[in-house]
């Protein structure tokens, strides 16, 4: 059996997917395969992939568009590796990623270790090394992701492009079919409830998360806060009250404010109290997301980074 399988879902971005594939094939760890799942007929992408001559790469072209969750699940089913890693078509890895993560996995005491790593978040205002902290020993994963202790994002993240997971775990807990948004968060929150799962983070940056490059204007990026609120309500059992309030005060409010949906101010404030347990920081973040524009927050963060 191949030890590791890399799954890259893609559609309509031939100019980017080649870079992602090449970064996966350039890994120092060699006992691996790269499975590119083309999410529906896409001649340009298929043409780009034909120019990559490496027997470790396999291309699966789906007969119709199914979305990121189902494309990843298809890749998992087709994989031969004991371990699975995911890479998005607009991101890339550093050469030592799989080797370092598998070293961590071998020494883990967990039945189902989920190995992440630090990430270079490449933004229009510069590069940032994230996450800024690791989860606490008894800290719920939902609170690690959504309970903020500062005004700037990136304290706790577990991007899909960083995760190395046993295939057995992905077979037991696949990505939720049909989700247009929060595919990675949804999976992480559900798998965190499984006995024997432990999240571990390699303390060095091994992936490049291109935050702005190639991002589609879709439900994932077009500030559709109503969709996000619906997902939160349906998934409320995955959140502690503190995490619920944190998600409202940052993710939901950020989307609504960028969309100029001031009518959402009071309903979201009520929602934060309805099922959440907001802290003083949540109130400050709630107001800051409304009254401090995103470009201004980015400038402040870049200024503070330059002073470090």
Going from N- to C-terminal start, the domains of the chain cover 4-210, 225-307
> Phi and psi for 197 in degrees, rounded to 5?
-90, 135
The pLDDT, as a whole number, for residue 295 is 61
Q: 254: which DSSP letter?
A: H
The pLDDT, as a whole number, for residue 307 is 55
Between the two ends of the chain, the Cα-to-Cα distance in Å is 47
> Mean pLDDT, to the nearest integer, of 72-96?
98
Distance CA 282, CA 277 (A): 9
- Inform me whether the pLDDT recorded for 5 exceeds 90: yes
Instruction: Name the band, by pLDDT with cuts 50, 70 and 90, for residue 126.
Output: confident
- Inform me whether the pLDDT recorded for 271 exceeds 60: yes
> CA nearest 286: which of 241, 250, 245?
250
- Inform me whether the pLDDT recorded for 112 exceeds 50: yes
Tell me the percentage of the chain whose pLDDT exceeds 70: 91
- Inform me whether the pLDDT recorded for 151 exceeds 80: yes
The pLDDT, as a whole number, for residue 225 is 92
> Whole-number mean pLDDT of the chain?
92
The pLDDT, as a whole number, for residue 137 is 86
The pLDDT, as a whole number, for residue 211 is 87
> Mean pLDDT, to the nearest integer, of 122-126?
85
At CA 70, angle to CA 23 and CA 168, rounded to 5?
A: 75
The pLDDT, as a whole number, for residue 125 is 79
CATH architecture for segment(s) 4-210 = Alpha-Beta Complex (3.90)
Tell me the percentage of the chain whose pLDDT exceeds 90: 83
Tell me the pTM.
0.91
> Mean pLDDT, to the nearest integer, of 122-133?
90
- Inform me whether the pLDDT recorded for 92 exceeds 50: yes
Cβ-Cβ contacts under 8 Å for 180 (sequence gap 6 or more): 67, 218, 219, 220, 227
């Amino acid at each position: 059996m191949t030890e590791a399988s890399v799954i890259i879902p893609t559609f309509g971005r031939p100019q980017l997917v080649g870079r992602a594939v090449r970064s996966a094939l350039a890994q120092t760890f060699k006992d691996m395969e790269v499975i590119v799942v083309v999410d529906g007929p896409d001649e340009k992408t298929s043409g780009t992939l034909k120019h990559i001559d490496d027997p470790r790469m396999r291309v699966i072209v789906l007969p119709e568009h199914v979305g990121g969750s189902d494309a990843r699940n298809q890749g998992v089913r087709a994989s031969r590796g004991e371990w699975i890693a995911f890479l998005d078509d607009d991101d890339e890895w550093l050469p030592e990623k799989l080797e370092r993560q598998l070293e961590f996995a071998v020494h883990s005491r967990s039945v189902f270790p989920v190995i992440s790593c630090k990430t270079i978040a490449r933004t229009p205002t510069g590069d940032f090394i994230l996450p800024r902290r690791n989860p606490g020993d008894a800290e719920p994963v939902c609170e690690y992701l959504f309970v903020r202790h500062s005004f700037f994002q990136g304290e706790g993240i577990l991007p899909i492009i960083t995760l190395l997971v046993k295939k057995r775990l992905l077979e037991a807990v696949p990505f939720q079919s049909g989700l247009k948004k929060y595919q990675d968060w949804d999976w992480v929150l559900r798998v965190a409830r499984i006995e024997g799962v432990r999240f571990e983070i390699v303390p060095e940056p091994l992936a490049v998360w291109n935050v702005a490059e190639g991002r589609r204007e879709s439900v994932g990026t077009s500030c559709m806060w109503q969709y996000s609120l619906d997902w939160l309500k349906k998934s409320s059992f995955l959140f502690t009250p503190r995490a619920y309030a944190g998600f409202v005060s940052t993710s939901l409010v950020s989307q609504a404010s960028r969309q100029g949906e001031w009518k959402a101010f009071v309903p979201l404030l009520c929602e934060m109290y309805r099922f959440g347990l907001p802290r003083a920081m949540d109130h400050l973040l709630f107001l800051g997301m409304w009254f401090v524009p995103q470009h201004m927050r980015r400038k402040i963060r870049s200024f503070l980074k330059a002073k470090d």
